[in-house]
Amino acid sequence: MDWWNDAVFYQIYPRSFQDSDGDGVGDLAGIESRLDYLAGLGVDALWISPFFKSPMKDFGYDVSDYVSVDPLFGDMEDFKRLLAAAHRRGLKVVVDLVLNHTSDEHPWFREAREARDSPKHDWYIWKPFPERGPRRPPNNWISLFELRSAWYENPATPEWYLRTFTRNQPEVNWRNPELRRAMYGVLEAWLDLGVDGFRLDVATGYFKDELFRSNPFKARLVPDLLQEHLYDRNRPEVHGVFRDFRRIADSYGGRVLIAEPHGQDRSLAASCHGEAGDELHMAFNFEFLTRPWGAASFRDSARRWYGALPPGAWPNFTLSNHDQPRHVHRYRKGADTEARARVAAALLLTLRGTPFLYYGEEIGMGCRRLPRKALRDPLGIRTWPFSGFGRDPERTPMQWDASEGAGFTTGTPWLPVNPDARVRNVAAQEGDPGSLLSFYKRLLTLRRNIPALRSGDLEFLGEDPDVLAFRRSPSRTAVGDGAERAGGTDPAPARADPEVLVILNFAGGRRAFPLPEGGRVLAGTRRPEGSILGAGDAGLEAYEVLVLERTGT
Ligand code: NOJ
């Protein structure tokens, strides 16, 4: 059992979490000042989105110096202080490495683009202009954030370079051994500093087709832009790099590697673990980011994910992140929105697998449409006035209190604070036992204290379209076996560890539910903690959450 198997991760988008110097942008000292809050919330690990030197064309996902801190966020001393302070509180820290591309202001690219014989030229991906005839891009690959060809002209050499996000994010050439060594050095430098692991941005995208073949047509606009991305990403050569990453991480011990797969394909995510279990520890399962609301929807998705994982791989779940509308927004339904947020929280925090929370979800932060002039995300600006593509709405400042800057900043925030911060904020919820924040804390405490919830087996109970129910029992299987288990053949563990029943009513009305066995309420939205329910019809209220310790009667 490794620490990340039963840890709860909390993603911090550093621009938006806490500003300490009044410039309107969050920073590392700000995060440090909120560590007590995070420890008190009950999470175990922080994933901090990029804070490295960057021209901020993609808000930090365009890195111009991998082992540095952008002055906007502080300096390396601030990072070291933050890391030590987190460790003192038992919090792990995972940093976000963006190794598929650099910024076009990275010294490597500046040198590479000067001349074809510059030593760094082959560290990027180039195609020469044709000697004669019309100058058409070498293939149909597209840039996701610019909605045009992925090939951008570099007259100096004269060639195109490849970038599949913004034009300012040239893709590096992982086939070049020197580039690889330089990237491995980046991992080692952060591991030497003591970080607990990495989230690897678009990790499956590192390699492109050697023959640069055009992608076939696919009749799906979002998010594929009418292409099946066969050749511009997700090539098999990446597994060699994953094995190297793993060797490096293992040589330090206790460090975690988490892939962001490029795309939503669960088998792609599953493949990141490696057939022999010698690649990455986890790969994000993004299905919950787009699932429609409903018990059957989430049950089917979780079941498919458990089934897709190779033996030895460990599942994970995430409802929101910095690239997708927040789940509270996606699942909003007038006066039912808050009740739905509780069902979602209970689902995320009781399933078998590592949960990833996104800052602010614990207080039910939502999204709102921003005026054109407030937009900052290049994708949002490009796709305006269509909403749903731009990512600013899920990146608004953390809502700490009811003050003008929401306790996030004393200056002008880089993105407008959501006006609901006046009522929806940490200060308002902290002392209120009935708040969403208190509900998250209760679930996090349960998860921490009950082995069955942290690492136990999971068995779905029934196929009700509205009620998602499952039993968690102390593990009879090796931790790391991602499969849903109906039981095992090993001897049963000592009875001291309770079994837990989780029952979630996704419907906005009452539903019958035949409770297979009696239980004591550990957490719930309707019934008081400690109350005892006998076997039989539990008669669930709308959106009721019930987490029961099995008493057996
Ligand atoms: C995925 C990141 O999550 C996203 O925010 C970023 O824009 C792209 N990768 C490019 O780095």
Q: What is the pLDDT of residue 311?
A: 92
For ligand 1, atom 2: residue with the closest CA = 201
Report CA(200)–ligand 1 centroid distance (Å): 10
Does residue 529 sit in the same domain as residue 465?
A: yes
User: Does 390 reside within a domain?
Assistant: yes
Task: Give 505-522 pLDDT, tens digit per residue.
Answer: 999 999 999 999 999 999
260 is catalytic: yes
Q: How far is CA 491 from CA 473, 487, 519, 523, in A?
A: 13, 10, 23, 29
- C-alpha 129/C-alpha 72 separation (Å) is 39
Domain harbouring 203, CATH code: 3.20.20.80
Averaged pLDDT for residues 63-68: 98
Going by pLDDT thresholds of 50, 70 and 90, the confidence category of residue 236 is: very high
Instruction: Check whether residue 55 and residue 184 sit in a common domain.
Output: yes
* Alpha-carbon distance values, 17 to 31, 49, 77, 209 (Å): 7, 11, 19, 39
Residues 344 and 463 in one domain: no
So what's the pLDDT on residue 264?
Answer: 82
pLDDT of residue 97: 98
Q: How confident is the model at residue 477 (pLDDT cuts 50, 70, 90)?
A: low
> Based on the domain organization, do 482 and 525 belong to the same domain?
yes
Residue 172, domain member (yes or no): no
Note down the domain range covering 458. Answer: 452-550
Tell me which residue has its CA closest to atom 6 in ligand 1. 61
Residues 142 and 82 in one domain: no
pLDDT at 478: 52
Task: Identify the residues whose C-beta falls under 6 Å from ligand 1.
Answer: 58, 61, 98, 165, 201-202, 260, 322-323
**89 & 206 share domain:** yes
Question: Residue with the nearest Cα to atom 8 of ligand 1?
Answer: 61
Does some domain include residue 398? yes
Residue 484 pLDDT: 53
Atom of ligand 1 nearest to the CA of 98: 11
Helix axes 238-252, 177-193, angle to 10 degrees: 30
Measured CA to CA, the distance from residue 501 to residue 406 in angstroms comes to: 38
pTM attached to this predicted model: 0.96
Which residues make Cβ contacts (< 8 Å) with residue 272, sequence separation at least 6? 203, 204, 242, 259, 261, 279, 280, 283
SS (H, E, C) 60-82: CCCCCECCCCCCCCCCHHHHHHH
Domain assignment present for residue 446? The answer is: no
Q: Domain count of the chain? A: 3
- pLDDT over threshold 70, residue 480: no
Residue 492's pLDDT is what? 47
pLDDT for 479 beyond 80: no
CATH number at residue 113: 3.90.400.10
Query: What is the Å distance from ligand 1's center to 100 Cα?
Result: 10
How far, in Å, is the centroid of ligand 1 from the Cα of 384? 19
> What is the token pair recorded at 544?
């009721």
Spatial CB neighbours of 483, under 8 Å, sequence gap ≥ 6: 306, 307, 309, 311, 477
Please check the confidence at residue 215 and state whether its pLDDT lies above 50: yes
- Binned at pLDDT 50, 70 and 90, residue 553 comes out as low
Catalytic residue among 146, 196, 260, 361: 260
Please provide residue 57's backbone torsions phi and psi, each rounded to the nearest 5 degrees.
-75, -30
Q: Are residues 111 and 93 in the same domain?
A: no
